[in-house]
Structure 1
Amino acid sequence: MGELIERLRRLGRERREWICLPLGLAVALLGRSVLPLIAGAVAVPLVRRWLAARRRKREREQREAAVIELCGTVAGDLRAGRQPGEAVAGIKDAGMGPGWPEVSAAARFGGDVPDALRKAGRQPGAEGLNGVAACWRVAVDGGAGLAAGLERVAAALGAERDQRDELDAQLTTTRSTAVMLAVLPVLALLMGAALGAAPLQVLLHTPAGLGCLVLGGLLESAGLAWTRRIVRAAVGDGPGEGKGE
C-alpha cells in the first residue's frame, strides 16, 4: 500500500500539468459550458512546457553549483597532497548528470580526463567543466599548478552566478507583474460571483460575454508575452547570456 501511494505521488509530481483537466471540468460544470474544459485541455501542453522549462533551469543551476563545489573540493585535495586523478576519482556523485561517470572512470584508469570533462561540459549548466579541462591540460603539459587554476575557475563561476542572482532579484517586480496579470481575471470572477453577478453565465452564454472573454484572453496573452519579452531581454543583456529561461 505504501509503495502504491509513493508511485501515485511520484506520478502526480511528474504529471502535474494534468491538473488543468479537472480544473477545467469543474469550471465547465459551474458555468454549464464545454468551453472551460476545452481551455483546460489546451492548457495541458502549455503548462507541460512551462514545467519542463522550470525543471531544466533547476537542473542547470544544480550543475553550476556542483561544478563550483567540485573545483573547491579537488583544489583542497590537491593542496592536501593527493594526485589529480585520485582526487577526481574519489568523487562518486558530483551532481553533474550522466556525463560524470566517464570523467571518474578516465581519472581512475588513466584515460583522457580533459576530453571526458569537455564531454560532460556539454550539459546545460556544466559549461564550467571546460575551464576545468583547460586547467587540467595546462597542468599536465606545462606543469602549472592545477589547484590554483581550479580555484580561479571556481571564483569566476561563483562571481557569474552572483551577478545572475542579483539580476534575478532586480527582475522580481517584472515577474510579479506577470503573476498579477495571470491572477487578476480569476479574482475578478470570484468577486463577481460573490456579488451575485453570475460572471460565468454572462461570459459563457451571451454574445457580449463571449466577445469580452475572447478580447480579455487576447489582452492577457499579449501582456504576458510582453512581460516575458522584457525578462528575456534583460537576462540576455546580463551575465550568462544564452542561458536564459
Structure 2
Amino acid sequence: MSAALALVAAALLLWPGPAALRRRRVRRLVRRRPAPLARITAAPPAAWPLPAAVLGVLLGAAVGTPLVAVLAGTVAAAAARTLARARERRAEEARVEALTDALGAVAAELRAGRPLAAATASVLAGCGDESLATGLARALRAPAAVPAEPGTDLDRVLARVAAAVLLSERTGCSLAAVVAAVEDDLRARRRQRLELRSATAGPRASAALLAGLPLLALAMGSGIGADPWGVLTTTPAGQVLLVAGVALEAAGLAWSGRLVRRAVGSAAA
C-alpha cells in the first residue's frame, strides 16, 4: 500500500504542467516539415478492372456455380473501376492543392518586388510535377493560350489563374493581389468541400452498413442450420433472386454514391 502511494506521489510530481505541455507542442510544430511538392502531386497507382474481373471469376467459379462466377467478376470489375475513379479524384485534388500552394508562393514573391518571370521561375523550380509546372507557367506567362473551356478541376483552376493575369494586364491592378485572391478562393472552396464531406460521412457509412446486411443475413441463415447459399445458387428461383439482389445492391450503392458526389460537386462548383 505504501509503495503504491509513493508511486502515485511521484507521478503527480513528474506530471507536466501547462507550460511544459505548451513547450512540447511548440517543439512538435517546429520539427514538422511540409511534404515536398513532388510527393504531394504523385498520382497513386491505378486499379485495373480487367484483372479484378478475372480474379473475381476465378474465385466465384471456385466457390460456386458459373452464375456466381459471372456475378463475382462483374462486381469485382465495378469495384475496381470505382476505386480507380476515387484514386484519380484524390490525385486531382492533391494537384489542385499543390497548385494553390504554388499560387501563394508566387503572390509572396510578387509582393517582395520580384518580377513575374523571376517569381514564376523560382516557384516552378521546386515543382516536382512536370505537367503542373507547365500549366502554371503557361497561365502566368501566356494566359491567352489557356483553353477557355477546361475539363478537369486542375484545368479550371489554371483558367482562373490565366483570367486573373489577363485582368491585371488590362486594368493595371496588382498581380500579387489578384493571384492572392484566386488562392484565397481555392482555399475557401477546399474548406467547404472538406466540411461537406464530413457532413456526408454519416450517410456514406449508413450506405456501406446497409450494403453488408445481405451478407450478414446469409451468415445468420447458415448459422441456424439453413442453406441459403445453396438455395440461391442451385435452384432456378434462387438464381433469379440472386441476380435481382445483386442488381438492386449495385443500384443502391451507385445511387447513394452519385448523390454524395453531386452534393460535394455542387459545393465545389
**TM-score of Structure 1 vs Structure 2, range by shorter chain:** 0.7 to 0.9
Cα distance between partner residues in 1 of 2:54 and 2:215: 17
CA displacement at 1:15 relative to structure 2 = 4.3
Distance apart, 1:64 and its partner CA: 1.9
**Pairs within 5 Å for 1:31-180:** 31=64, 33-90=65-122, 91-92=124-125, 94=127, 98=131, 100-101=133-134, 103-104=136-137, 112-116=141-145, 118-119=146-147, 122=150, 124-126=152-154, 127-180=156-209
TM norm structure 1: 0.75
Counterpart AA for 1:75: A
Tell whether the 8 Å contact from 2:100 to 2:183 is kept in structure 1 after alignment: yes
Residue in structure 2 matched with residue 26 of structure 1 by the alignment: 59
Mark the runs of 5 or more structure 1 residues left unpaired by the alignment.
1-12
3-state SS of 2:173 partner = coil
Deviation, 1:143, is 2.9
Q: Which residue of 1 aligns with 2:42?
A: none
Instruction: Quote the residue 1:214 is aligned against.
Output: 243
Partner Cα separation in structure 1 for residue 63 and residue 126 of structure 2: 51
- Provide the identity percentage: 36
Q: Is the CA contact (8 Å cut-off) linking 2:161 and 2:179 kept in structure 1?
A: yes
Match of 2:216 in 1: 187
Aligned in 2, Cα 1:120/1:230: closer, same or farther, shift over 3 Å? closer
Relative distance call for 1:25 and 1:121 in structure 2 (3 A) is: same
In the alignment, residue 68 of structure 1 is paired with which amino acid? T
Q: 2:144–2:162: 8 Å Cα contact kept in structure 1?
A: yes
| Stretch moving more, 71-80 or 45-54 | 45-54
Distance 2:114 2:149 in 1: 24
Residue by residue, what CA displacement relative to the aligned partner does 1:63-120 show, whole Å, maximum 9, x if unpaired?
Answer: 321221121000111122221111112213646662632653797xxxx52134x349
Structure 2 residues without counterparts, runs of 5 or longer: 1-44
1:204, CA displacement in angstroms?
0.4
In the superposition, relative to structure 1, how do residues 115 and 52 fare at CA in structure 2: closer, same or farther (>3 Å)?
farther
Q: Deviations over 1:141-170 (max 9, x none)?
A: 443211111111111111111111111111
Partner residue in 1 for 2:268: 240
What is the root-mean-square deviation of aligned Cα atoms in Å? 3.0
How far apart are the structure 1 equivalents of 2:47 and 2:259? 29
Q: Which amino acid aligns with 1:146?
A: L
Contact 2:52 2:80 survives alignment (8 Å): no
Which is higher, the Rg of structure 1 or of structure 2? 2
| Equivalences, count | 222
* 1:159-186 deviation digits (Å, cap 9, x = unpaired): 1111111111111122122212332223
**8 Å Cα contact 2:111/2:176 also seen in 1:** yes
CA distance in 2, matches of 1:189, 1:24: 21
Other structure's SS at 2:113 match: coil
Tell whether the 8 Å contact from 2:60 to 2:66 is kept in structure 1 after alignment. no
